[in-house]
């Protein structure tokens, strides 16, 4: 039987590329010098798209593939896929939930600890000789015993909260409603009030049109000059202009960010700030998790072409 033709939007590690190439006739969108030409040429044959969370598939790409049946996303977030365009044509969408939850939570908590204790500056202090020349490193702020807010208590938010309990933090959360599995945390419906009560605010919401800029000026200013904002979700959940302004003026104490508008080309104003920890969207970036994500992308494609139920559908 002929291998099903698929469109691959972005690169995957070699350990994923090889089995993908073995099972499918893969057209590499990211390698095409003229992307419109590639879509015009192979679009009508394409039955499935394999993409990444941050790359998704826009309406133009979906429309260029009139026989498209499935979009398999390497990532839990599928906000970059035009879901409306998929609904209109009955195109299925899958993601890679669960397998990445613990690593994303780990990185969020690590970012809080790193930033609060000034670990990057401390490393420089050792390497550049400041320790011998200037003496003790400036004192930083404690983490344990303080108050954390988790905005979005889904799978990742819950794992963040679980880890924070180990650091003796007091935990509150906001979500559309109180969660039955979170009886030992306080529910605060209003994100502004959650921020007001928190020293550390974690943004762990699945991004959608409804959550766009949910962390706006009011939330940021409620977190305040002593507060820290940690984002391991999507940049669109935060009003980046308001965040930059608050970091520049000291209305917000600090931030630790794994995601940015227009990444990887982030706003250069971030680079001038010393109160923000910048990470290259790698919260799920461990070998173990990425292997599991790649497997799940292929499992969804394989199940689809075998006419079997999709392991992790979102649409």
d(CA 303, CA 71): 13
Which is the catalytic residue, given 117, 221, 263, 269? 263
For ligand 8YV, the closer of residues 76 and 276 by Cβ is: 76
Q: How far is the CB of 86 from ligand 8YV (least distance, A)?
A: 17
For ligand 8YV, the closer of residues 115 and 284 by Cβ is: 284
Which is the catalytic residue, given 281, 290, 298, 304? 281
Q: Do the strands 147-151 and 92-94 form a parallel or antiparallel pair, or are they unpaired?
A: unpaired
18 catalytic? Reply is no
Copy the structure tokens of residue 124. 């420089």
Which is the catalytic residue, given 52, 196, 234, 298? 234
Binding site for ligand 8YV (CB under 6 A): 52-54, 74-77, 100, 281, 284
Q: What's the order of all strands across the beta sheet hosting 48-52?
A: 25-28, 5-8, 48-52, 70-74, 92-94
Q: How far is the CB of 80 from ligand 8YV (least distance, A)?
A: 9
- The per-residue DSSP string of 276-306 comes to EEE--S-TT--HHHHHHHHHHHHHHHHHHHT
281 catalytic? Reply is yes
For ligand 8YV, the closer of residues 54 and 175 by Cβ is: 54
Q: Do the strands 170-174 and 48-52 form a parallel or antiparallel pair, or are they unpaired?
A: unpaired
Q: How far is the CB of 236 from ligand 8YV (least distance, A)?
A: 12
d(CA 197, CA 169): 12
Q: How far is the CB of 132 from ligand 8YV (least distance, A)?
A: 40
How crowded is residue 79: how many other Cβ atoms within 10 Å of its Cβ? 21
For ligand 8YV, the closer of residues 235 and 252 by Cβ is: 235
Q: How far is the CB of 290 from ligand 8YV (least distance, A)?
A: 7
Q: What's the order of all strands across the beta sheet hosting 200-203?
A: 186-187, 170-174, 147-151, 200-203, 228-231, 254-257, 276-278
- The per-residue DSSP string of 16-55 comes to HHHHHHHHSEEEEGGG-SSHHHHHHHHGGG--EEEEETTT
How crowded is residue 129: how many other Cβ atoms within 10 Å of its Cβ? 9
Q: How far is the CB of 164 from ligand 8YV (least distance, A)?
A: 21
Gyration radius (Cα) of the chain, Å: 21
234 catalytic? Reply is yes
Residue 158: which H helix or E strand, with range? helix 155-166
For ligand 8YV, the closer of residues 234 and 304 by Cβ is: 234
For ligand 8YV, the closer of residues 53 and 152 by Cβ is: 53
Name the residues annotated as catalytic.
234, 263, 281
């Amino acid at each position: 039987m002929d291998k099903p033709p698929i469109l691959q939007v972005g690169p995957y590690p070699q350990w994923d590329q090889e089995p993908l190439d073995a099972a499918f006739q893969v057209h590499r969108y990211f390698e095409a010098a003229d992307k419109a030409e590639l879509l015009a040429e192979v679009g009508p044959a394409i039955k499935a798209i394999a993409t990444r969370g941050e790359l998704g598939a826009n309406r133009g790409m979906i429309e260029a593939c009139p026989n498209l049946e499935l979009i398999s996303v390497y990532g839990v977030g599928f906000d970059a896929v035009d879901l409306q365009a998929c609904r209109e044509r009955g195109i299925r969408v899958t993601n890679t939930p669960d397998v990445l939850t613990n690593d994303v939570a780990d990185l969020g908590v690590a970012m809080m600890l790193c930033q609060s204790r000034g670990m990057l500056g401390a490393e420089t202090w050792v390497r550049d000789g400041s320790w011998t020349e200037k003496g003790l490193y400036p004192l930083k702020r404690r983490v344990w015993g303080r108050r954390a807010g988790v905005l979005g208590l889904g799978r990742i938010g819950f794992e963040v909260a679980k880890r924070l309990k180990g650091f003796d933090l007091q935990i509150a959360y906001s979500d559309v409603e109180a969660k039955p599995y979170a009886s030992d945390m306080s529910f605060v419906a209003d994100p502004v009030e959650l921020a007001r009560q928190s020293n550390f605010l974690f943004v762990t919401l699945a991004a959608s049109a409804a959550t766009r800029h949910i962390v706006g000026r009011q939330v940021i200013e409620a977190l305040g000059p002593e507060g820290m904002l940690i984002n391991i979700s999507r940049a669109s959940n935060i009003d980046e202009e308001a965040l930059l302004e608050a970091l520049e003026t000291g209305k917000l104490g600090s931030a630790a960010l794994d995601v940015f508008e227009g990444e990887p080309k982030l706003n250069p104003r971030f680079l001038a700030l010393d109160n923000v920890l910048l990470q290259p969207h790698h919260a799920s970036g461990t070998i173990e998790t990425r292997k599991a994500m790649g497997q799940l992308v292929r499992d969804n494609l394989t199940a689809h072409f075998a006419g079997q139920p999709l392991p992790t559908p979102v649409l």
